[in-house]
Homo-oligomer: A and B are copies of this chain.
Amino acid sequence: MEIGFIGLGIMGRPMAQNIARAGHALHLYARRPESLAPFEGKATIHASAALVGSHADIVITIVADAPDVEAVALGPDGVAAGARAAGRSDLILIDMSTIAPPAARGIATRLAEAGVTMLDAPVSGGEPGAIHGTLTIMVGGPQPEFERALPVLQAMGRSVTLIGPTGAGQVAKACNQILTGAGVAAVAEAFNLARAHGVDPANVRTALMGGMARSAILDNHGNRMIARNFKPGFKSWMHQKDLRIVLEEAHRLGLGLPLAAAVAQMFNAMQGAGMAEEDSVAMLKLYERLSGVE
């Protein structure tokens, strides 16, 4: 298929490379030309998102936040404008950014008016998952377009699930960020309690992985806390942003989510402590400071 891809960042670049590897033709546009360098000779480079929309069967976007998706999808030089100019009515736009569910629904509605069907398909699994094509992809949108897009999604992810209608992918991602954020904080609290008792957290991790407390976070992030490896991974400012979405939804819908709120405060404090570019696991250091450990 002819696949457009916009957003060649840490995640997007390897994801696009996996699509090319699966045998699809790539159509690219990037604001910053240096993002395109790795694709020289392997993709058709376009001068605008609109031209990508004119040439592709499916366009994938993965950008920072909702206004960026809006600009790329619905702006005057955006994907929808290009699809319309080319007289197309079967274009699918898969937005893989993490944005708020209502924002996703609003953009999907406006795209539908332009004849473009949107799937919201945020991902989990970080840079390693993007590189190895093992992402978890949570999809919202109509079933027929999901099925058309499935081969392309499977080129990037190991676990691809249609969660429900438009916005449901973003809801599942919000759930994912509650669980992973609370998981990191809980492991950091447990390890800090062990340390304060003079007990080796490595032994605690090994024992607990044999029981009901076992989790991918205790396994992976726990291991990195023990090794004191705070390199991303997944930068803490991005997790902070995702929990802002969760708490805005909690506010809007009238939900009491005290745990998510407590975790969000820890991510806020990480930003203030100069840990924005470090991985979420650096939260352990914050807990140590909070306990008087320098």
Contacts and interface: CB of A to CB of B under 8 A. Distances in A.
Interface of A: 101, 124-126, 129, 135-136, 138, 158-159, 161-164, 167-168, 171-172, 174-176, 178-180, 182-183, 185-187, 189-194, 196-200, 203-204, 206-208, 210-218, 220, 246, 249-250, 253-263, 265-266, 287, 290-292
Contact of A262 (B135, B259, B287, B291): B259
A258 B265 contact: yes
Contacts of A164: 198-200, 203
12 contacts: A135-B211, A161-B210, A167-B197, A168-B197, A182-B259, A183-B183, A192-B255, A193-B246, A213-B217, A256-B290, A257-B287, A258-B265
A267 to B, nearest CB: 12
B178 A193 contact: yes
A257 to B, nearest CB: 5
Nearest to A126: B212
A215 B215 CA distance: 4
Contacts of A175: 190-191, 193-194, 204, 208, 213
B203 A161 contact: yes
A180 B213 contact: yes
A100 B130 CA distance: 44
A101 B129 CA distance: 40
**Among the interface residues A163, A172, A217, which one has the most CB atoms of the partner chain B within 10 A?**
A172
Contacts of A253: 193, 196-197, 291
B124 A176 contact: no
**Oligomer: number of copies:** 2
A196 B251 CA distance: 12
Contacts of A192: 255, 257
Given A196-B255, A213-B216, A213-B217, 18 more contacts: A129-B211, A136-B207, A161-B207, A164-B198, A174-B193, A175-B213, A176-B190, A176-B213, A178-B186, A179-B208, A182-B183, A183-B183, A196-B253, A197-B249, A211-B216, A215-B218, A254-B291, A255-B291
A136 B250 contact: no
Contact of A210 (B159, B207, B213, B263): B159
A194 B178 CA distance: 12
Contacts of A256: 287, 290-291
A213 B163 contact: no
Contacts of A292: 254
Contacts of A262: 258-259, 261-262
Contacts of A163: 199-200, 203-204, 207
A154 B208 CA distance: 16
